[in-house]
Amino acid sequence: MKIAVCIKQVPATESKIKPSSDGKEIDRTGLSYVVNPYDEFGVEEALRIKERLESSVTVVTMGTERAEEALRTCLALGADQAIHIKDDLLRGGDAYGVALVLTTALMKEHYDIIFFGKQAVDDDSGAVGIHVAELMGLPHVAVINKLDLKPEEGRALASRQIEGATEMVNIKLPAVFTCQKGLNEPRYASLPGIMKAKQKPLTTLTLADLGVDKDAVGAKGAKLVVDCIKAPRVRSTGNIIDKNPSESVEELVRLLRDEAKVL
């Protein structure tokens, strides 16, 4: 199996996120970065497939200089090689532009399986993986929590949790999957893994290397642009009741019924 995992470097989930002074992007002062948690399930699933079937695992990212750390993390976990697409012209792009660039890079090889996280925890769009499947003309299953490969039949059975039920999808390979928590339990990098990662091949590519039209991506090609960002509406503390249990409950029920009118 030839497997690609597309990853994104994002601020750690416990980070406090504030808008920058111009309100166009977030204030990155003091932030620490991680591999997007949902992408880790993709990396782990790829590595588990590699343990069972002869496979190669390529991790791909698009991002600034700093994103190389995220690729090295995945190489340390056991991925074989990495592709870093890096170009200043990519700034200000939307999900469609990102998908266009990734599609071009992925089309240069034949991958049997391409993994994405179900969404990146920064822009929460959940669109890139599905866009890529569509642009590549491949079938996909999004938000999977179980993948049962049938390589000899050239297909897979993927499960995804929908509202109150599980959808079981029969899909032909090659295919794209976006990964949800529950798919597996991602491993930690070992010390030998971290040492080996430094020697593994990491290719850096620009838009020109890929042959992508620079006007179709980045800020110039974006179909959707961020106008402004701000902190969400601040909720203020309301009525905190500190009486004996039965009085507190009585008071709460009265407030819910008469003031909030939700009972």
Q: Which is nearer to other proteins, 168 or 195 (CB)?
A: 168
In 53-190, where does DSSP find H-type helix?
Answer: 68-77, 95-106, 128-136
Q: How many CB atoms lie within 10 A of CB 250?
A: 13
Q: Which is nearer to other proteins, 153 or 208 (CB)?
A: 153
Closest distance to other proteins from the beta carbon of 253 (Å): 5
Only one residue has tokens 């999808």, namely 169
**Tokens at residue 209, please?**
């290397």
| Cβ atoms of residues 82 and 56 within 8 Å | no
- Going by C-alpha positions, the residue among 67, 62, 130, 129 that lies closest to residue 92 is 62
Closest distance to other proteins from the beta carbon of 159 (Å): 9
Closest distance to other proteins from the beta carbon of 56 (Å): 23
Q: Which is nearer to other proteins, 195 or 225 (CB)?
A: 225
- Going by C-alpha positions, the residue among 57, 87, 74 that lies closest to residue 204 is 87
Amino acid at 199: Q
Taking CA atoms, 222 is separated from 122, 195, 226, in Å, by 18, 39, 10
Closest distance to other proteins from the beta carbon of 211 (Å): 20
Q: Which is nearer to other proteins, 57 or 132 (CB)?
A: 132
**Tokens at residue 9, please?**
């470097």
Amino acid at 107: M
Closest distance to other proteins from the beta carbon of 178 (Å): 9
Q: Which is nearer to other proteins, 85 or 100 (CB)?
A: 100
